[in-house]
Amino acid sequence: MTLDLLIPSQLAHALLPDLLVMAGAMVLMLVAAWDRESAARQRRVGFGAMLVVVVAIAATVHMAVGGYTAAAGGVIAVDGYRWALDLIILLSALATIALSIEQNARDGILTAETHVLVLFAAAGMMMLAAGRDLMVIFLGIEIMSIAIYVLAGIDRRRARAAEASLKYFLLGAFATGFLLYGIALIYGATGSTQLNEIGAKIVHFKLYTHPMLLVGTGLLLIGMGFKVAAAPFHMWAPDVYEGSPTPVTAFMAAAVKAAAFATFLRIWYEGLYFLTASWVVPVSALALLTMFLGNVVALSQRNIKRMLAYSSVVHTGYLLVAIASSTALASTAMIFYLFAYGLATFGAFAIVMTLQPDGDAPALVSDYEGLWQTRPWLASAMAVYLLALLGFPIFGGIGFFAKWYLLQAALDSITGLVPLAVAIVLTSVISAGYYLQVVRAMFMSPRPEGAREPAPMGGMTRAVIGVTAVLILALGLFPSQLVRYSSENGLHQHPYSPTTGMGLPPGIRP
Amino acid sequence: MGNEFFPLFYGFHFYLFGLIALVSSILFVTRKSPVAAALWLINVMFCLAVLYILLDAQFIGAIQVLLYAGAIMVVFLFVVMLLNLGHPSELSDIRGKGGRLAAGFVGLALLAEIMVLARAEFPAKLTLPAAVTTEAAQGTAGIIGPIAAPLFREYLLAFELTSILLLTAIVGAVVIGKKREAGDAG
């Protein structure tokens, strides 16, 4: 069924999952304000938020199965790419809320608004997955970011959390300036904020080297670089990841990255595809720098949260290769990669949360020494996540295939990204240095004398760890369904025909 | 557009208020006392309102005065005074040489950018088609109509999302700013 987005009722239908999340967030906000502050209220609102997310997941599946499409030229997209990313975002939100309920209970945080803010952030992310208009995209980024700034500092007793929140807020506001200026210049050059109109005007008026458009694109690239934590705009990531409550860190690493990349790819493919010749070199340079810098710095980290933060910077570098590839195949590789990366990230941070010492003490890699002797299942699960992030075959499960498809996308790209493919392989080898260091500490080092016994896990943390580990391994053995699903839901905006050379952006030779 | 009939009048006022806005904004960023800075910012807002009115956008001009100069800046001044930030000696701005150099560099970069952009040529069709002149749009719907109609049609989603954004910001501000909980230890 084709939806006409200018009719409010049909627009509402196209936004069904998003509206459900927003409405649920508002109802829960009132519930949270109504009740007396207590640990029970925090749990109750948390379970309510999980229910909202489950309903929204059902609505997303309904929309995806229903085969809805939108008339061309709307402010939001109604396509499989959007639903696939919505599912990644909603599943991340579900896991975040589950972990948050138990983390808050452990830390004595009674703020029930934690879960409300996760819902608001998820709503903003879903607008990013949907947005086909730079205005909607900008609002989505801001809704997501403001909710995350607050979530980073939700534990007001810890100085580190306040530092993380403030740092993220200031740098985020700075990045917003770049983003907005870029959008304004692109609007000035093309007279539109809608991605497909921008693309059409670039071709129609031959704006390929228009200075205002190129400057706007550059500023937009810097703004997006901040949001996805690409080097050299990644400076905030380690401090913010370390200071935030661990479930929020997982949410930032998995869902914020997925949403930001979702809109990054859509802007670049639907709006700026025909400028490929201009942006492929800067984006590739950003990818290379991010991969190498992130990996080298991660090698020297002893704090596991900072190490995982740099590892997430490295994965930004890998995903930038998908942006630079500029093919439909790259968008399917990105969906697959974000799903795999999200699973491994949530699992790893759930374990970090379990083993986190109380208070402001840092979580060190040395805390994991000999974990195999006391908690063998936990150690095995952590090994699976780290190997998945590394892209190790079989034991890393789905992570291996994720990297494999990304490599394929780089090699099949129209822009000739063989050096980037080589860089992915090289930096993956470097990354073994710090991923395997943790594995070695867990399995081969003796448990130090007087080591702290890990706190007992809550049921939901256990569930998150179990489900992610099993999914990584199972989908690693049987990836065909997920591959088919990703390949059916990529962006198919500019079909390039190798025989006729049609649909190729100017300045690019096959 | 009025400036076809009174070129001198429009030109004179554009440059007059443009210059005042420019000078006021420079004074705004260089004042050490936040109250003085805020007052200069109000001056900038007023000048911008005049420029909007010169563009035949009287409604936007009025909104600019009411919202920015009237509401937001007043709240801003209240915050400055309530928090007792009015003393310049307690605040530090970018005093270091590196900071000043960086600021100057960014300013020069922006200036260079504007000069490059000013030389860019725009396709003729990107400018408004002749039929959509301001008079034609205002003739049927008044001054507010041309703003209201797209706001609730093409930009309905952006408009509603803005309210979600503000709601999120309010919830966040309350959560961060409210009194410490009873359970809070420190």
Task: Determine which of A2-11, A164-173, B88-97 has the lowest per-residue pLDDT on average.
Answer: B88-97
Task: Answer whether A171's CB lies under 8 Å from A236's CB.
Answer: yes
- Choose among B117, B165, B176: nearest Cβ to A139: B165
Residues B170 and A91: their CA atoms lie apart, in Å, by 26
Take residue A158 and report the two structure tokens written for it.
Answer: 């810890």
Q: Find the mean pLDDT for residues A288-292.
A: 94
Interface membership of B179 toward A (CB under 8 Å): no
* pLDDT tens-digit series, residues A422-471: 999 999 999 999 999 999 999 998 888 777 777 788 899 999 999 999 99
Q: Does A207 touch chain B (CB under 8 A)?
A: yes
| Best to test chain A binding among B171, B174, B181, B184 (most A CBs inside 10 Å) | B171
Amino acid identity at B18: G
Give the H/E segment covering residue A2.
Answer: strand A2-3
Q: Has residue A17 got a pLDDT over 60?
A: yes
Q: What is the distance in angstroms between the Cα of A425 and the nearest Cα belonging to chain B?
A: 38
* Cβ–Cβ under 8 Å, residues A476 and A114: no
Q: Is the pTM of this model over 0.80?
A: yes
CB contacts under 8 A, A 150-179 vs B, are 150, 153-154, 156-157, 165
Task: State yes or no: cis peptide before A505, omega within 30 of 0.
Answer: no
Provide the total of helices (H) and of strands (E) in chain A, helices listed first: 21, 2
**Rounded distance between C-alpha atoms, residue B98 and residue B104, angstroms:** 10
Q: For the segment A148-179, what is each residue's pLDDT rounded down to a tens digit? A: 999 999 988 888 889 999 999 999 999 999 99
Q: Which residues in chain B are closer than 8 Å to A153, comparing Cβ atoms?
A: 176
Mean pLDDT, rounded, for B153-173: 93
Closest Cβ–Cβ partner in B120, B157, B171 for A211: B120
Cα–Cα dist A472/A383, whole Å: 12
Structure tokens given for A452: 């702290």
What residue of A is the nearest CA neighbor of B172? A150
In sequence order, the 6+-apart residues with CB closer than 8 A to the CB of B72 are none
Average pLDDT of every residue of chain A: 90
Distance from C-alpha of A503 to C-alpha of A508, rounded to nearest angstrom: 11
User: Bridge partners of A194?
Assistant: A133
Counted across chains A and B, CB pairs separated by less than 8 A come out at 102
Q: Which candidate in B114, B168, B170 is best for mutational testing of the A interface (most A CBs within 10 A)? A: B168
Among candidates A66, A193, A81, A89, which has minimal Cα distance to A130?
Answer: A81
Residue A452 forms contact with B (CB below 8 Å): no
CA-CA distance, A407 to A413, in Å (whole number)? 10
Residue B134, pLDDT score:
58
Round the average pLDDT of chain B to a whole number and report it: 79
Most B CBs within 10 A among A13, A174, A187, A205, hence the mutation to make, goes to A205
Q: Does B181 touch chain A (CB under 8 A)?
A: yes
Distance, in angstroms, between B167 CA and closest chain A CA?
A: 9
Partner-chain contact A26 B175, CB within 8 Å: no
pLDDT score of B185 more than 50: no
What integer pLDDT is reported at residue A498 of this predicted model? 46
Nearest to B171 among A117, A127, A207 (CB): A117
Instruction: Judge whether B164 is closer than 8 Å to chain A, CB to CB.
Output: yes
3-class SS letters over A474-501? HHHHCCHHHHHHHHHCCCCCCCCCCCCC
Q: Over the range B101-133, which residues count as b (16 or more CB within 10 Å of their CB) and which as e? A: eeeeeeeeeeeebeeebeeeeeeeeeeeeeeee
Taken as a whole, chain B contains a residue count of: 186
Name B117's Cβ contacts closer than 8 Å, sequence gap at least 6: A185, A188, A211, A212, A215
pLDDT greater than 90 at residue B139: no
Question: How many other CB atoms sit within 10 Å of the CB of residue A286?
Answer: 25
pLDDT given at position A228: 94
Kindly report, residue by residue over A74-92, the tens digit of the pLDDT.
889 998 999 999 999 999 9
Asked if A343 and A472 count as a contact pair (C-beta separation under 8 A), the reply is: yes
Whether the Cβ atoms of residue A482 and residue A339 lie closer than 8 Å to each other: yes
Could you say which of A143, A150, A153 has the minimum Cβ distance to residue B164? A143
Residue B186 scores a pLDDT above 50:
no
C-alpha dihedral over A56, A59, A61, A67, to 10 degrees?
-140
Which residues from chain B sit within 8 angstroms of residue A41, using beta carbons? Answer: none
Selected residue with higher pLDDT from A350 and A502: A350
Instruction: Return phi, psi of residue A194, to 5°.
Output: -85, 135
Q: Strand, helix or coil at B175? A: helix
A381 CB-near residues (< 8 Å, 6+ apart): A347, A351, A465, A466, A469
CA of B149 vs chain A CAs: smallest distance (Å): 12
Question: Which residues is A364 bridged to in the sheet?
Answer: A303
